[in-house]
Amino acid sequence: MSEIIGIKYNGEIFDTQTASIEDIKGEEIHFDNSREALSIIRHSCAHLMAQAIKELYPEAKFFVGPVVDDGFYYDFKTSVKIGEEDLNIIEKKMKEIAKKAFPISKEVINRDQAFRKFAGDELKQAVMDRIEGDCFGVYRQGNFEDLCRGPHLPNTKFLHSFKLTKLAGAYLGGDENAEMLTRIYGIAFADKDSLNTYLAQLEEAKKRDHRKIGLEMGLFGFDEEIGSGLPIWLPKGARLRRRIEELLTKALIIREYEPVRGPEILKSSVWKVSGHYDNYKENMYFTVIDDVEYGIKPMNCVGHIKVYQSSLRSYRDLPLRFYEYGVVHRHEKSGVLHGLLRVREFTQDDAHIFCTPSQIKDEVSNIIDFTHKIMRAFGFDYEMELSTRPKKSIGSDEVWEMATSALKDALSGNAIDYAIDEGGGAFYGPKIDIKITDAIGRKWQCGTVQIDMNLPERFHLEYTDENNTHQQPVMIHRAILGSFERFVAILTEHFGGEFPFFVAPTQIVLVPIVEEHFKYAFDIKRELLNIGVYAEVMDKNETLSKKIRNAEKQHVPMIAVIGEKEVANKTLSIRDRRQKAQYELSEKEFLNMIETKMKEVNF
């Protein structure tokens, strides 16, 4: 068994430097690649990087160095301009320090002691201003020390499998009006094999980058004259989105969801009732109309609540399932915008289910089944995580227990193995997060299923039960894809642009060899359009090899070559790029095959 580096107790990780560690009885954390161990490893590696930077640039000052989903980073400033070429120098110094096996110790001091210790360091003062209370942790390794709550490894000797990955700028505290700091990102693992696997994955990810492929295929774009984080969908990208929407809509109708649509701007008074004004205001956009403040919606739930309130409801009406492909806007910082993965305007595949408490299990079970069919259609592996009641929450123990048990029963009833994030639920209810794994092993948070007792209470939602008594319904928030923008980005990278036939933006390219063959090609295109298939004709005056090469650059699933023989015999010479096969079909056989392929996938 590998060395113990920490203890997880009640959802919190304690390192071996914590004074009360002997009194804590919890789950032992060993030095491995578990999520809990990696958080300690990467946090310690951030400090190792800071120590290396301090030795190379003695005047450097440091802000914060947290663990993030894909590694760690540190924000700092120095009078020396640091470039990408300096990352190798810093990394080499990190290795030198790690080999010296410095013990990592922890000291706890009060606020006055901390201010004196870091006097003259305005970044540390800024950190302390953000911390409540009078208790400050200081971690020390060799001649380097920094404010930190931990947890950390017991010794730098554990750190041997790390890599600095990129350099960026970051505003102090994320405030665009504050000074710009330097940010260096890195990754760390418990062993070199895991690091090498990750680095190989990074190289493959560069080839699959949805921004690069999206540009090459003409799917989407951005224009600074319009604004950052506001994607423009080009025809091929819009066709891809539309195909996904069509498949979802068909499945939703079968599952008895009703389409609804809420306005995109609502009075701020309603956002105050929902709690968004107090808890989410910094992420919203506002405007004033006739001296009244309005908020542009960051979520669709309030509009759906108003649909529920449009009529008196009985227990016989429930469950009510409303869906909307709702456009929402969120004020994301410019530094976190990333292609379609992080934007300021996006469209959610949103749904809200209003039901009785006893219906929660069946509704969640139906959502899980729906999720499974979607993920299977796209070839994604996925996992689910149940997040339970946090310390800060609303509602009775009885309701929380009932909602959590219903989620557990639905997961178990569908034979879903799931992890539990103790205390990770929303303040208004427990939730299930859907995490998919793409073709190169990366995990993505996409969908979510959230049980909400808060909004029905805030908006005084009611239904009458069998005894004609007023009861409060449960509200289930449900998004499976998350957003079309994010899902298209993930799909693009998952398939490397080689989309499956049923959603490909261009499904067939018809390649007539010479002009005399154009008419037959366009006749076939019209037939394909009639059955809902996106087809293009390569009618430029180019050589056959160039036409085929250009078609392949579009990553189309199928190329049909049309020459003199094909026109005479009413046939097509098919190059099936997904099946890696070539064959010849009559026009009728070809159209029948395509029509069958279009019906192969249903959610």
Q: With beta carbons less than 8 A apart as the criterion, state whether 71 and 48 touch.
A: no
Is 330 an active-site residue? yes
The rounded distance, in Å, linking the Cα atoms of 452 and 310 is 20
Kindly provide the b/e burial profile for residues 418-448, where b requires at least 16 CB atoms within 10 angstroms of the residue's own CB: beebeebbbebbbbbbbbbebebebebebbb
Is 45 an active-site residue? no
Residue among 350, 433, 438, 452 flagged as catalytic: 350
Q: With beta carbons less than 8 A apart as the criterion, state whether 418 and 385 touch.
A: yes
Residues belonging to the chain = 603
The rounded distance, in Å, linking the Cα atoms of 237 and 500 is 14
Residue among 124, 361, 431, 575 flagged as catalytic: 431
Residue 136 pairs with which residues in a beta bridge? 109
Q: With beta carbons less than 8 A apart as the criterion, state whether 266 and 302 touch.
A: yes
Is 86 an active-site residue? no
Question: What is the residue type of 453?
Answer: M
Token pair 């790390």 in the structure block, residue: 162
Of 54, 79, 208, give the one whose Cα is nearest residue 146: 54
In 209-349, which residue ranges form alpha helices assigned H by DSSP? 210-217, 235-254, 268-274, 276-279, 301-308
Of 559, 473, 546, give the one whose Cα is nearest residue 510: 559
Q: With beta carbons less than 8 A apart as the criterion, state whether 266 and 303 touch.
A: yes
Helix (H, G, I), strand (E, B) or coil at 369: helix
Question: What is the residue type of 592?
Answer: N
Is 141 an active-site residue? no
Residue among 141, 152, 208, 301 flagged as catalytic: 301
Q: With beta carbons less than 8 A apart as the criterion, state whether 473 and 356 touch.
A: yes
Is 342 an active-site residue? no
How far out from the chain centre does Cα 228 lie? 19
Residue among 8, 152, 352, 575 flagged as catalytic: 352
**Tokens coding 556:** 């189309």
For residue 278, report the phi and psi dihedrals to the nearest 5 degrees: -80, -35
Q: Are strands 418-421 and 381-387 parallel, antiparallel or unpaired?
A: parallel
**Tokens coding 578:** 């997904």
Residue among 330, 344, 525, 555 flagged as catalytic: 330
For residue 293, report the phi and psi dihedrals to the nearest 5 degrees: -80, 135
Burial category of 378 from C-beta neighbours within 10 Å (exposed 0-12, middle 13-18, buried 19 and up): buried
Q: With beta carbons less than 8 A apart as the criterion, state whether 277 and 268 touch.
A: yes
Residue among 141, 348, 450, 507 flagged as catalytic: 348
Is 446 an active-site residue? no
Q: Are strands 320-329 and 258-259 parallel, antiparallel or unpaired?
A: parallel
The rounded distance, in Å, linking the Cα atoms of 15 and 440 is 32
Residue among 208, 243, 477, 517 flagged as catalytic: 477
**Tokens coding 218:** 């003409």
Active site residues: 301, 330, 348, 350, 352, 431, 477
